[in-house]
A = this chain, B = another copy of it.
């Protein structure tokens, strides 16, 4: 607890396991709320460890490290989903863990997630566990090629999803010996995401539905709200997220990635933490996703999730060949005094996500928000207009 008066704790300490950019931005929100905030970081150079006053360096796969960290915290939450399940169960005996192990399992085990969603009647792509090429080709005989192979957990070479156009490509993935499921490849109209929060009390709050624009499986752009989304479709997505958060007993944030298809909405992925698709809320919503996550894991009443501008656009910034991103502030800020830059303090490597930019405004008044955000993100990455 931070500070005591007459033996009474004044404000609780939230501990976040993992110290990437999500923890970094959660740290900013914790400062405003006046609560304690600590991170368990793999290294003192991690994105959040650079800026957080309460850093423990440790290994999230080591139970002693986790327990030592938990002893400094009133509640523990996560910047990623990689803490081993058995460790989560042990942690839960030491400290409130939010979200809990039972909920988190659905982000750690894609087969368990699909099976649970199927049980709940939530529309998903067709899927099946596969252990050999015969099973993949049998699945493809029904759903067609390409087939999407997804690691049940983890993956290799930093990836966990492979779109396989041929049996040879599938065989190559299977050759790595990682447990996978096969999913039908969805020819979607676009990708949407919806972010809900749920507190231990059971209060729920849901953000406007956003559109995510991916390239090569990586989110480049988020449009909040999604463009030309019907009120009925938006409500359907929001109710799906709120319902799932309740069914899975999520405490904290639940991000639901969706495909919009001619046969309706299909759930692609789940995450139970602040999410890239919610970074727009820092400037664009009454309550940022980072503050909302803290309020939820502390079992405080949730904040208003509504947008504060007609349209908000977020663009991710990726590393380019030149690491001197700060040197490009001069141009970006002079060119557009309204763009909000967020850098994560990460070492620049080509293709690595190192920050994001946000712009908010009213397209009905002619504001070219996508152009503005895209230009700033591109220039920060490459130094080219």
Residues of A bordering B, CB below 8 Å: 2-3, 5-6, 8-12, 24-25, 27-28, 30-35, 37, 49-53, 55, 205, 286-287, 295, 300-304, 308-309, 323-326, 329-330, 333-334, 337-338, 340-345, 347-348, 355, 360
- Name the one of B342, B348, B360 contacting A32, with C-beta atoms under 8 angstroms: B342
Query: A253: shortest Cβ distance to chain B, in Å?
Result: 16
Contacts of A5 on B, CB cut-off 8 Å?
323-324, 347-348
Q: Is there an interface contact between B11 and A326, defined as CB atoms closer than 8 Å?
A: yes
Are A35 and B326 also in contact (CB < 8 A) when A50-B2, A308-B309 are? Answer: yes
Q: Is there an interface contact between A333 and B32, defined as CB atoms closer than 8 Å?
A: no
- Name the one of B32, B49, B343 contacting A28, with C-beta atoms under 8 angstroms: B32
CA distance A183 to B11 in the complex (A): 44
Contacts of A301 on B, CB cut-off 8 Å?
329-330, 333-334, 337
Contacts of A37 on B, CB cut-off 8 Å?
51
Q: Is there an interface contact between A355 and B303, defined as CB atoms closer than 8 Å?
A: no
Q: Is there an interface contact between A329 and B342, defined as CB atoms closer than 8 Å?
A: no
Q: Is there an interface contact between A51 and B31, defined as CB atoms closer than 8 Å?
A: yes
Query: A11: shortest Cβ distance to chain B, in Å?
Result: 4
Q: Is there an interface contact between A338 and B303, defined as CB atoms closer than 8 Å?
A: yes
- Name the one of B324, B330, B340, B355 contacting A34, with C-beta atoms under 8 angstroms: B355
Question: Would you mind naming 15 contact pairs between A and B with Cβ atoms under 8 Å apart?
Answer: A3-B347, A5-B323, A5-B348, A10-B323, A10-B324, A10-B325, A11-B345, A25-B31, A34-B343, A34-B355, A286-B337, A286-B340, A301-B337, A303-B333, A308-B308
A55, A337, A342, most chain B CB atoms within 10 A: A337
Query: A59: shortest Cβ distance to chain B, in Å?
Result: 21
CA distance A321 to B24 in the complex (A): 34
A5, A205, A345, most chain B CB atoms within 10 A: A345
* Chain B residue, CB-CB nearest to A6: B323
* Chain B residue, CB-CB nearest to A29: B28
CA distance A170 to B286 in the complex (A): 49
Query: A118: shortest Cβ distance to chain B, in Å?
Result: 34
Contacts of A295 on B, CB cut-off 8 Å?
333
Query: A315: shortest Cβ distance to chain B, in Å?
Result: 15
CA distance A287 to B348 in the complex (A): 26
Contacts of A35 on B, CB cut-off 8 Å?
326
CA distance A334 to B300 in the complex (A): 8
Contacts of A286 on B, CB cut-off 8 Å?
337-338, 340
Query: A228: shortest Cβ distance to chain B, in Å?
Result: 24
* Given contact pairs A34-B341, A35-B326, a sample of 15 additional A-B residue pairs in the complex whose CB atoms are under 8 Å apart: A2-B50, A10-B324, A10-B326, A27-B31, A30-B51, A32-B341, A32-B343, A33-B329, A34-B344, A34-B345, A34-B355, A286-B338, A301-B333, A303-B333, A303-B338
Contacts of A347 on B, CB cut-off 8 Å?
3, 5
CA distance A304 to B337 in the complex (A): 5
* Chain B residue, CB-CB nearest to A34: B343
Q: Is there an interface contact between B3 and A308, defined as CB atoms closer than 8 Å?
A: no
CA distance A10 to B30 in the complex (A): 26
CA distance A301 to B334 in the complex (A): 5
Contacts of A24 on B, CB cut-off 8 Å?
31
Query: A178: shortest Cβ distance to chain B, in Å?
Result: 34
* Chain B residue, CB-CB nearest to A323: B5
